[in-house]
Amino acid sequence: MQQRQPHPSRDGLIPVSEKESFAFDCSRAVSCFNACCRNLNQFLTPYDILQLKNHLGIGSGEFLEIYTSRHIGPETGLPVITLQPKPGAERECPFVTTSGCAVYPNRPSSCRIYPLARVVSRCRRTGRFAEHFALIREPHCLGFQQNTRQTARQWLQSQQLHVYLEQNDRFLEIIGLKNRLAPGPLDLRSRHLFHLALYDIDAFRDHILCKGLLADRPLSAEIIKRLEADEMALFAFGHRFVAQQVFGKDRGP
């Protein structure tokens, strides 16, 4: 196992391999506890929203209205959802308390993976994905002064990130599809369908079951039953729907 003392680059990112060991720990015993929950500018993925709205026991529409803001990404032209901070100059996360995170078991993937950054790239020749990692060094964070050591892979496992990364990569495929097949801003209908199917999953279900969203492509009774009862099946269906209906590409099962 390789070990090294990190030295920040100009942008505060230190490339690491998945087998490199680094020192980091975060707990109430570290004096900067909760500091990373301020000055918030946090993007939420569709899977983050799914987990948070279920943790809070509310619908996706209510969650989006109360806790988030919607923007249009300047580079992708896609609807982007960010967490709405508490009022005040510190821009605190709406879920942070003096005791820590109130939604910790279902906290967003960006919170789970910190202090790592992860970039996924696809090889054009083989179609295979590759992961690249870096450590994020920020002045307020004292976690790197702790004695606990782990590799990037061990950190991902300890933070239960496997499912989050798998589902977020599904979302990244959609973004890549958009960049390849539909560069530039989307029209209003496409933005609406993108937001509905990926972010507002409860409304998406309602549009399928009650409002005839797919009237031009009837679904079998078996599929309807599965989409009604199985939220993860609906979640996967939403990604296929956007690929097909918005970008004209079948992502497969």
- As a whole number of angstroms, the distance between CA 108 and CA 198 comes to 16
Amino acid, single-letter form, for residue 18: E
Question: pLDDT at position 1, please?
Answer: 32
SS3 string, 139-202, reads CCCCHHHCCCEEEHHHHHHHCCCHHHHHHHHHHHHHHHHHHHHCCCCCCHHHHHHHHHHHCCHH
* Domain ranges for the chain: 2-165, 186-246
- As a whole number of angstroms, the distance between CA 20 and CA 14 comes to 12
Amino acid, single-letter form, for residue 115: P
* pLDDT, averaged in runs of 10, over the chain (253 residues): 41 86 92 89 96 98 98 89 93 92 96 94 74 92 93 95 96 91 89 97 96 89 95 97 87 44
Question: pLDDT at position 127, please?
Answer: 66
| DSSP H or E segment with residue 26 | none
Question: pLDDT at position 98, please?
Answer: 86
Residue 134 in 3-state DSSP? strand
Question: pLDDT at position 77, please?
Answer: 86
- CA atoms in the 13 A half-sphere facing the CB of 198: 28
Question: pLDDT at position 250, please?
Answer: 59
Question: pLDDT at position 252, please?
Answer: 45
